[in-house]
């Protein structure tokens, strides 16, 4: 029987000021590690989508930072935002899913990019958002990420071999990364689980007060049930009602492989703590063995060449 893996999701309100956001991140990461009343100190922390910048397509380039290649020591890297998180990871010996930030590539394209940082401050994984949020909901929200962002084209699953996240589990989990709108495409999650053996899906997100009430809980629980994975969904906190800032939904949550919500935030700034019983992945897959019962003779899901 595995020891539960303690995790914490940091839900805070994003500011238009980069320095304020960095101060906020440092404060809330500290809160996550020292908060009274939690059973155990977290071994994995998580931040929301686009936490260093206003969620405005026309401003992503202004806040974009270079992100180095895998294995780089982010404490010496070109990204001020990730340097801050890497310094924190090293000082507390904790792994961090560093949400996402706008990334400026060497050819000047802008991506919405999520990263995973090791307790040694190194870049373990990097995922560029594959599905850009281009929607027009009458009476709701109009948003076109493709006005400024380029879509990624790589499926991202960090292997648990060698326990890079320092989970301490007998069989360390394989961690998949998605970003917000990616979670709406079940094919992606199924490929991550079926072909890359994903066990935990981390989804930094920025669902709005239009899409959140409709689909936030439904989609996160559905992907957990589809893949029989844990789903960690971290959203930013909701701004005041009279604010012109992007209307984030909040409600960061942790879902188990059976579709149960283990922990959930409200709409304000807070830290969500949960303990992942990784044995539940095996239990769910043994009890309802969908992976063995798919009809490969009738249909098949394959990545593009």
CA pair distance 15, 239, nearest whole angstrom:
9
Res. 1 pLDDT band, cuts 50 70 90: low
CB–CB of 278/165 below 8 Å? no
Backbone angles phi, psi at 31, to 5 degrees: -60, -40
Residue 142 carries which DSSP code? E
pLDDT at 131: 95
**Over 90: is that where the pLDDT of 57 sits?**
no
- Which residues are catalytic, by number? 49, 129, 180
Owner of token pair 């991140």: 25
Instruction: List pLDDT tens digits, range 32-55.
Output: 998 766 778 999 999 999 999 988
Q: In Å, how far from its chain's centre is CA 5?
A: 17
85, 77 Cβ separation under 8 angstroms? no
Contact of 235 with 49, CB cutoff 8 Å: yes
234's tokens: 């971290």
Task: State the residue for tokens 């904790």.
Answer: 94
**Non-local CB neighbours of 37 within 8 Å, separated by 6+ positions:** none
Look up the pTM and report it: 0.95
Residues whose CB is less than 8 angstroms from the CB of residue 86 and which lie 6 or more positions away in sequence, other chains included: 73, 74, 75, 77, 117, 121, 122
pLDDT (tens digit per residue) in 131-182: 998 877 787 777 788 889 999 999 999 999 999 999 999 999 999 999 999 9
Q: What's the confidence (pLDDT) of residue 231?
A: 98
Q: Which residues contact residue 115 at a Cβ distance below 8 angstroms, ignoring those fewer than 6 apart?
A: 67, 82, 97, 98, 100, 101, 123, 124, 125, 126, 127
Sign (positive or negative) of CA dihedral 24, 30, 32, 36: negative
CA angle, corner 83, sides to 64 and 67, nearest 5? 40
Question: Tens digit of pLDDT for each residue in 171-224?
Answer: 999 999 999 999 999 999 999 999 999 999 999 999 999 999 999 999 999 999
pLDDT at 15: 87
Band the pLDDT of 286: cuts 50, 70, 90.
very high
Distance CA 164, CA 162 (A): 6
β-bridge partners, 274? 7
């Amino acid at each position: 029987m595995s020891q539960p893996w303690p995790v914490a999701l940091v839900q805070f309100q994003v500011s238009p000021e980069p320095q304020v956001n960095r101060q906020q991140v440092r404060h809330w990461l500290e809160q996550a590690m020292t908060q009274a009343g939690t059973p155990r100190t977290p071994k994995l922390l998580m931040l929301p989508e686009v936490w260093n910048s206003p969620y405005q397509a026309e401003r992503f380039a202004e806040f974009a930072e270079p992100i180095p290649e895998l294995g780089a020591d982010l404490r010496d890297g070109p990204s001020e935002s990730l340097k801050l998180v890497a310094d924190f990871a090293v000082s507390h010996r904790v792994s961090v899913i560093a949400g996402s930030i706008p990334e400026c590539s060497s050819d000047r394209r802008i991506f919405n990019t999520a990263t995973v940082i090791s307790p040694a401050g190194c870049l373990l994984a990097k995922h560029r958002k594959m599905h850009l949020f281009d929607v027009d909901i009458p009476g709701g929200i109009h948003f076109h990420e493709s006005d400024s962002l380029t879509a990624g084209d790589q499926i991202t699953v960090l292997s648990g071999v060698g326990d890079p996240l320092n989970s301490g589990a007998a069989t360390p989990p394989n961690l998949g990364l998605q970003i917000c709108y990616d979670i709406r495409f079940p094919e992606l999650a199924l490929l991550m689980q079926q072909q890359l053996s994903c066990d935990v899906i981390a989804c930094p997100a920025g669902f709005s007060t239009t899409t959140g009430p409709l689909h936030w809980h439904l989609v996160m629980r559905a992907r957990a049930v589809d893949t029989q994975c844990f789903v960690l969904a971290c959203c930013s906190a909701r701004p005041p009602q009279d604010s012109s800032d992007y209307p984030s939904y909040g409600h960061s949550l942790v879902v188990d492989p059976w579709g149960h919500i283990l922990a959930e935030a409200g709409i304000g700034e807070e830290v969500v703590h949960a303990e992942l019983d990784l044995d539940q992945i095996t239990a769910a897959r043994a009890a309802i063995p969908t992976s063995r019962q798919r009809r490969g003779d009738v249909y098949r899901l394959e990545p593009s060449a």
